[in-house]
Amino acid sequence: MRIGLDVMGGDFAPDAIIEGAYDSLQHLPADDNLVLIGDKDAIYRKLEAMKVDPSLFEVVHTSEVIEMGDHPAKAFSQKKDSSIAVGYGMLKNNTLDGFCSAGNTGAMLVGASYTVNVIPGVLRPALAVVLPCIDNRQSVILDVGLNPDCKPDVLLQYGILGTIFAKYVLEDENPTVGLLNIGEEETKGTSAVKMAYEFMKGHPGLNFVGNIEGNSLFRESMPDVVVCDGFAGNVILKLGESFHHMFKQRGLKDSYFDSLDFENIGGTPIVGINANVVIGHGISKRKAVMNMIIRTREVAHANLAQKIKEAI
Amino acid sequence: MRIGLDVMGGDFAPDAIIEGAYDSLQHLPADDNLVLIGDKDAIYRKLEAMKVDPSLFEVVHTSEVIEMGDHPAKAFSQKKDSSIAVGYGMLKNNTLDGFCSAGNTGAMLVGASYTVNVIPGVLRPALAVVLPCIDNRQSVILDVGLNPDCKPDVLLQYGILGTIFAKYVLEDENPTVGLLNIGEEETKGTSAVKMAYEFMKGHPGLNFVGNIEGNSLFRESMPDVVVCDGFAGNVILKLGESFHHMFKQRGLKDSYFDSLDFENIGGTPIVGINANVVIGHGISKRKAVMNMIIRTREVAHANLAQKIKEAI
């Protein structure tokens, strides 16, 4: 398994990225290869300062950097020797099994659409996120920001994509799927959600448990897969962050609430494209980078993209 | 000031409602009248059991009850001597300044539309909720469930209704207004939210601070008024409940997180109708009922409905 890491992307690149890469090694099987993609001088300099043997990694040198403020589409097409463009190129020619970056999110999405492409049959790719529930289960929620306006057929397909994700990445045999709504009754919600309910309730490919409300999120009653549009999903993800932040601010300690830190979340996989790609938070430091790499390895190990291709 | 209370509505009616009514008296000015609307025998029996002087209240007897499971529109039109129908009748003929109930929410909304009516010029009424922020400010968010699909002009008007609410009920002189979105840039979000941004940014009646994201909610960066559709708002409200519940479940204590209990929130005022009405949670017990009455008094004291009528 070869996992590519964009060393140049993120507010604390390249140092924090390389530190996280080093920490991730103890969580990866010995025969996996972690490929550091970025300026080789910066990489070797940092590894030397850390007194880390460079032979633990592969290094692919790139001469350009897509900055956090760059225009995504322009930067991606013009900076062909940037770490993001090179990473996607390696995905496309199958020299990587997975790729991750805490860099320019827009450029990562451009690469997803234009280099590796959407899987035929997938209506809209989604950003998924794996959240810890209070009863120690993990639950995947999608979309969390790619498609703020979702049509009913897209929501239905998110249920299917989420089921595949839960089955192969989280190893849930028969994952339950819930539709986020403002009430349990099937007559509740937006017109899109009401129709999605109709589509989902009889669908043979889904273990559909019906509508779930905001007060089920993170709790025992949270299904294994939560389907919602990218607007609500994004608000949920960021509100979780907000609560975690306030929790820390008040000087509180609790193993569950501590686990809600974005640093533990491991980034957001892009689901529905022809490659296994994970996007990290721009403010990722050492620990967040480590978890992003571990998540990418999980997604690549499950070969999520291939599983979706077979199912759709 | 005469505040009407539906004694028969809610999972713990009438006992918990009467207990909450009694507790609320110490928070109301002595010359306010609290009107208990419901079965007089049940009311006097409970007051006697509590050893409370019945002359502290007015009592308006009703012989019918709209149950929690009743069909809202049918029950409201057929049970003319129910506490909800009588309460709305008193609002309509101006013998009450405000009315609240923890009973059948649907029936409360039917009464709002059909008895007291929407204020002319208001596109869609909203359910508002006042949330405590971590820096001890209060912020009003609307809509939290009445209109899951919101058009841009409705969102703009929610900004105006929210401003009036914050100004007169929360006594903020020049309340800031934010539009909930999935990014700060004005190009983000659903098509409705993008257009609402355009409407709001130049509007002279709004102190508009732009888009806010989920991670600003409840925090220092939360504006005084948060505008969103009823879908996102409902998820936020219930997710707050979820966090509060988990917080308790983990045995944690903190004055701020404790304050997020729905029992402290005081119900959700209906904004945009020709009367001051507050809807409580069906599971309200003594404390929640007390706070619902206090909130109703605040809204009635500000005469929110009249202020909106003058402004729209």
Instruction: Write out pLDDT tens, residues B147-181.
Output: 999 999 999 999 999 999 999 999 999 999 999 99
- Would you call A193 an interface residue with chain B, using a CB distance cutoff of 8 Å? yes
Assess whether pLDDT exceeds 90 at residue A157: yes
E strands present in chain A: 2-6, 33-38, 58-61, 98-101, 126-132, 138-142, 176-180, 207-212, 225-227, 268-271, 277-279
Q: Which residue of A has its CA nearest to B260?
A: A243
Contact between B215 and A249 using a beta-carbon 8 Å cutoff? no
The pLDDT score that the predictor gives to residue B187 is 85
Q: Which secondary structure element, helix H or strand E, spans residue A194, and what is its range? A: helix A191-201
SS3 of residue A228 by DSSP: coil
Do A103 and A13 touch, CB atoms closer than 8 A?
A: yes
Task: Report the range of poorest mean pLDDT among A142-146, B183-187, B228-232.
Answer: B183-187
Q: Residue B260's closest CA among A184, A233, A243, A236?
A: A243
Do A38 and A18 touch, CB atoms closer than 8 A?
A: no
Q: Which secondary structure element, helix H or strand E, spans residue B99, and what is its range? A: strand B98-101
Neighbour-count burial of A220, counting CB atoms closer than 10 A to its CB (0-12 exposed, 13-18 middle, 19+ buried): exposed
How far apart, in whole angstroms, are the C-alpha atoms of residue A98 and residue A76? Answer: 19
Contact between B236 and A234 using a beta-carbon 8 Å cutoff? no
Using one digit for the tens of pLDDT, what is the confidence trace for A79-93?
Answer: 999 999 999 999 999
Contact between A242 and B217 using a beta-carbon 8 Å cutoff? yes
Average pLDDT over residues A256-282: 94
Average pLDDT over residues B103-112: 95
The pLDDT score that the predictor gives to residue A123 is 97
Average pLDDT over residues A277-282: 96
Average pLDDT over residues B257-266: 90
Contact between B246 and A256 using a beta-carbon 8 Å cutoff? yes
List CB contacts (< 8 A) between A215 and chain B. 238-239, 241-242, 245
Contact between A239 and B234 using a beta-carbon 8 Å cutoff? no
Assess whether pLDDT exceeds 90 at residue A222: yes
Contact between B214 and A193 using a beta-carbon 8 Å cutoff? no
Cα A194 → chain centroid: 27
Assess whether pLDDT exceeds 90 at residue A187: no
Contact between A252 and B254 using a beta-carbon 8 Å cutoff? yes
How far apart, in whole angstroms, are the C-alpha atoms of residue A9 and residue A4? Answer: 13
Interface test with A, best of B231, B245, B281 (most A CBs within 10 A): B231
Q: Which of B190, B237, B243 sits opposite A148 (nearest CB)?
A: B190
Confidence of residue A36 (pLDDT cuts 50, 70, 90): very high
- Would you call B248 an interface residue with chain A, using a CB distance cutoff of 8 Å? no
Confidence of residue B185 (pLDDT cuts 50, 70, 90): confident
Q: What ipTM, to 2 d.p.?
A: 0.93
Place of tokens 């004005």: B186
Class of domain B1-119+272-312: alpha beta
Confidence of residue A118 (pLDDT cuts 50, 70, 90): very high
The pLDDT score that the predictor gives to residue A186 is 87
Percent of chain A predicted with pLDDT > 90: 95
List CB contacts (< 8 A) between A182 and chain B. 145, 148, 230-231, 234-235
Contact between A191 and B242 using a beta-carbon 8 Å cutoff? no
Contact between B193 and A231 using a beta-carbon 8 Å cutoff? yes
**A10 φψ region: left (φ > 0), alpha (ψ -120 to 50), beta (else):** left
Average pLDDT over residues A55-59: 97
Q: Which of B145, B232, B249 sits opposite A232 (nearest CB)?
A: B232
Average pLDDT over residues B279-303: 97
The pLDDT score that the predictor gives to residue B186 is 87
Distances (CA, A) of B240 to A187, A217, B89, B141: 24, 10, 34, 13
How far B121 CA sits from the closest chain A CA (Å)? 24
How far B265 CA sits from the closest chain A CA (Å)? 16
- Would you call A149 an interface residue with chain B, using a CB distance cutoff of 8 Å? yes
Do B100 and B293 touch, CB atoms closer than 8 A?
A: yes
- Residues of chain A numbered 49-78 and touching chain B (CB < 8 Å): none
Say yes or no: do domains A1-121+272-312 and A123-264 share a fold: yes
| Cα–Cα–Cα angle for B160, B178, B116, rounded to 5 degrees | 30
Confidence of residue A31 (pLDDT cuts 50, 70, 90): very high
Whole-model pTM: value is 0.94
**Domain edges within chain B:** 1-119+272-312, 123-264
Q: Residue B5's closest CA among B15, B17, B13, B16?
A: B17
- Arch. (CATH architecture) of A123-264: 3-Layer(aba) Sandwich (3.40)
Assess whether pLDDT exceeds 90 at residue A54: yes
DSSP assignment string, B280-299: --TT--HHHHHHHHHHHHHH
Contact between A231 and B257 using a beta-carbon 8 Å cutoff? no
Average pLDDT over residues A36-52: 98
Contact between B216 and A242 using a beta-carbon 8 Å cutoff? yes
Average pLDDT, whole number, for chain B?
96
SS3 of residue B171 by DSSP: coil
SS3 of residue A136 by DSSP: coil
The pLDDT score that the predictor gives to residue B115 is 96
How far apart, in whole angstroms, are the C-alpha atoms of residue B114 and residue B216? Answer: 37
Interface test with B, best of A133, A182, A281 (most B CBs within 10 A): A182
How far apart, in whole angstroms, are the C-alpha atoms of residue A6 and residue B135? Answer: 39
CATH number of A1-121+272-312: 3.40.718.10
- Would you call B126 an interface residue with chain A, using a CB distance cutoff of 8 Å? no
The pLDDT score that the predictor gives to residue A140 is 98
Q: Residue A237's closest CA among A101, A134, A128?
A: A128
How far A36 CA sits from the closest chain B CA (Å)? 30
The pLDDT score that the predictor gives to residue B304 is 98
The pLDDT score that the predictor gives to residue A237 is 96
Average pLDDT over residues A99-112: 96
